[in-house]
């Protein structure tokens, strides 16, 4: 059975992991993730989930104190589409062997060419760019613009549509002229695309992509079956030594990113939060202590098991595990290629997803607010901060205990096996070998 799984899954996982487009999407979002986490902290301070928090600081700093913090968070959250275009084009250009700076520069210009640049104010039309096109709603436009512009840029470079400068010219000047014709080619193509869309009912490429792709994909991704599949595949791949989220995020990341940004925008403006299945939902309410929700596994290892090997590993891994780092368990216990532990390792995150999805659907707990907490934030704290409700911490505690109960019989089997091995090794150490009669 295991060999069959490997034969089917390994080639697919390897192809996905090595696909340059999916890898660039994942790496591109990772480029802007630190900015999102840092500015989320400013947003969280400005909206800390404690009654009287805002009034307390207004009395000390004045009524404009929240604007100071919003200015920082808006600097990223109102431009996530533009930033996604930058990050993805940089990664894709680098992975395609181009000068990443030139690739991302031409992608940003292409994105702005596709962006509406006029606003109707009464009966007047003025030149301006609305952040609605540059923020979460523009993420898919940024994504496609990044990939297409870099591919066109590469197409021109490969055909030597460049201006070669004589020797002795400084490298910066030479590189600039190398990019001249390819950049002009990309800009010309996107200019024509903008003109073509202006002649259609959509009016802009933004309207076309949002209507035909972004909105439908959001609906598909924002569903319980989609998130169940995500966590099932991520856990299953870990069991074969493959970093599951690295593969699954390549496909789901753009969708979760958009859903999270929608909730964040609503949270900032005081509107009702629209989505359940955000990136926060995945990180905070489906796995505790890392993939497989191994914090529950660690609790069993520490407080129930008698095997010296398991207990010592549990002591070493418990602190990293609280902060979501579980590689010592995955490779040390091990989880990888271990059919006994693989069963609860897959079941627990999937069950957590199902329970959390039902709880949020029934509105027993407020939706996640979109504020990106550092992924090392421990459970119980993370639930409260991401929803503003202590009931979220109760849900996390319940799922942690449920995970302990599910892991218990499987870890006990492993514990018994290791105890027998340790006893056999101990007997071997106690055997006295007498060489006097030889």
| pLDDT on residue 255 | 86
| pLDDT tens-digit series, residues 226-283 | 999 999 988 988 887 777 787 787 778 888 888 888 888 888 888 889 999 998 899 8
Residue 5 lies in a domain: no
What residues contact 316, with CB distance under 8 A and at least 6 apart?
Answer: 328, 332
| pLDDT on residue 17 | 67
Helix (H) or strand (E) holding 121: strand 118-121
Q: Are 89 and 102 in contact (CB under 8 A)?
A: no
| pLDDT tens-digit series, residues 42-100 | 888 887 777 788 888 888 888 888 888 888 888 888 898 999 999 999 999 999 999 99
What residues contact 370, with CB distance under 8 A and at least 6 apart?
Answer: 260, 261, 262, 263, 264, 265, 266, 267, 273, 278, 280
* 152 shares its domain with 45: yes
* 194 shares its domain with 74: yes
Residue 330 lies in a domain: yes
| pLDDT tens-digit series, residues 3-26 | 665 666 667 666 766 788 888 888
* 149 shares its domain with 255: no
Cα gap 201→387, rounded to integer Å: 40
* 114 shares its domain with 237: no
Last residue of a domain, one of 221, 247, 280: 221
Last residue of a domain, one of 206, 221, 236: 221
Residue 14 lies in a domain: no
Report the b/e string of 130-168 with b at 16+ CB within 10 A: ebebbbbbbbbbbbbbbbbbbebbbebbeeeebeeeeee
Residue 22 lies in a domain: no
pLDDT at 111 over 90: yes
For residue 125, list its beta bridge partners. 120
- Average of per-residue pLDDT across 352-374: 91
* 241 shares its domain with 216: no
Categorize the per-residue pLDDT at 293 as very low, low, confident or very high, splitting at 50, 70 and 90: very high
Residue 9 lies in a domain: no
| pLDDT on residue 169 | 72
pLDDT at 2 over 60: no
pLDDT at 354 over 70: yes
Cα gap 245→236, rounded to integer Å: 10
pLDDT at 222 over 80: yes
| pLDDT tens-digit series, residues 415-425 | 898 888 888 87
Question: Largest Cα–Cα distance of the chain, in whole Å?
Answer: 112
Q: Where are the alpha helices (DSSP H) in 47-170?
A: 53-61, 65-77, 80-95, 100-114, 131-134, 139-158
CA 162: distance to chain centroid?
A: 38
Residue 250 lies in a domain: yes
Nearest Cα to Cα of residue 85 among 27, 152, 141 = 141
Categorize the per-residue pLDDT at 429 as very low, low, confident or very high, splitting at 50, 70 and 90: low
| pLDDT on residue 438 | 55
Q: Are 332 and 338 in contact (CB under 8 A)?
A: no
Residue 254 lies in a domain: yes
Number of domains in the chain: 2
* 231 shares its domain with 347: yes
Q: Are 214 and 271 in contact (CB under 8 A)?
A: no
Which residue has better confidence, 250 or 158? 158
* CA quadruple 102, 104, 107, 112: dihedral sign: negative
Last residue of a domain, one of 221, 243, 266: 221
Cα gap 153→157, rounded to integer Å: 6
Residue 182 lies in a domain: yes
* 278 shares its domain with 299: yes
Tokens of 163: 């201006």
* 193 shares its domain with 295: no
* 199 shares its domain with 343: no
* 307 shares its domain with 176: no
| pLDDT on residue 410 | 92
362 vs 226, 266, 358, CA distance in Å?
18, 20, 6
Q: How many CA atoms lie within 13 A of 30 on its CB side?
A: 11
- Average of per-residue pLDDT across 346-355: 95
* 187 shares its domain with 296: no
* 422 shares its domain with 288: yes
Categorize the per-residue pLDDT at 346 as very low, low, confident or very high, splitting at 50, 70 and 90: very high
Mean pLDDT, all residues of the chain: 86
Domain range for 165 is 28-221
- Range with the poorest average pLDDT among 164-178, 189-203, 209-223, 225-239: 164-178
Categorize the per-residue pLDDT at 364 as very low, low, confident or very high, splitting at 50, 70 and 90: very high
């Amino acid at each position: 059975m295991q060999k069959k799984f490997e034969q089917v899954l390994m080639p697919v996982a390897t192809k996905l992991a090595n696909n340059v487009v999916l890898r660039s999407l994942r790496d591109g979002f990772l480029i802007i993730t630190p900015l999102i986490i840092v500015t989320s902290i400013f947003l969280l301070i400005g909206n800390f989930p404690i009654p009287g928090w805002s009034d307390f600081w207004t009395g000390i700093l004045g009524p404009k104190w929240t604007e100071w913090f919003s200015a920082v968070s808006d600097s990223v959250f109102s431009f996530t589409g533009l930033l996604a275009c930058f990050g993805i084009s940089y990664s894709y250009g680098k992975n395609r062997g181009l000068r990443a700076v030139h690739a991302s520069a031409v992608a940003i210009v292409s994105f702005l060419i596709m962006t509406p640049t006029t606003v109707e104010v009464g009966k007047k039309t003025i030149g301006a760019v609305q952040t609605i096109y540059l923020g979460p709603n523009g993420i898919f436009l940024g994504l496609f613009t990044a990939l297409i512009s870099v591919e066109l840029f590469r197409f021109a470079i490969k055909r030597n549509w460049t201006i070669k400068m004589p020797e002795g010219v400084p490298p910066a000047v030479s590189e600039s002229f190398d990019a001249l014709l390819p950049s002009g080619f990309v800009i010309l193509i996107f200019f024509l695309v903008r003109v073509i869309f202006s002649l259609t009912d959509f009016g802009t490429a933004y309207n076309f992509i949002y209507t035909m792709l972004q909105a439908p994909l959001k609906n598909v991704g924002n569903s319980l079956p989609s998130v169940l599949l995500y966590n099932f595949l991520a856990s299953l791949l870990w069991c074969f030594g493959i970093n599951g989220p690295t593969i699954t995020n390549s496909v789901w990341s753009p969708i979760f990113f958009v859903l999270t940004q929608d909730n964040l925008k609503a949270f900032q403006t005081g509107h009702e939060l629209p989505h359940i299945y955000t990136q926060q939902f995945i990180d905070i309410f489906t796995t505790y202590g890392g993939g497989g929700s191994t914090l529950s596994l660690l609790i069993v290892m520490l407080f129930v098991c008698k095997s010296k090997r398991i207990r010592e590993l549990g002591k070493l891994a418990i602190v990293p595990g609280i902060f979501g780092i579980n590689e010592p368990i995955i490779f040390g216990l091990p989880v990888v290629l271990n059919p006994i532990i693989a069963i609860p390792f897959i079941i627990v995150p999937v069950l957590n997803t199902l329970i959390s999805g039902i709880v949020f659907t029934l509105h027993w707990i407020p939706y996640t607010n979109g504020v990106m907490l550092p992924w090392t934030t421990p459970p119980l704290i993370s639930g409260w901060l991401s929803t503003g409700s202590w009931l979220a911490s109760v849900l996390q505690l319940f799922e942690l205990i449920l995970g302990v109960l599910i892991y218990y019989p499987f870890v006990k089997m492993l514990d018994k096996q290791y105890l027998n091995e340790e006893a056999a090794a101990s007997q071997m150490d106690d055997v006295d070998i007498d060489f006097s009669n030889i």
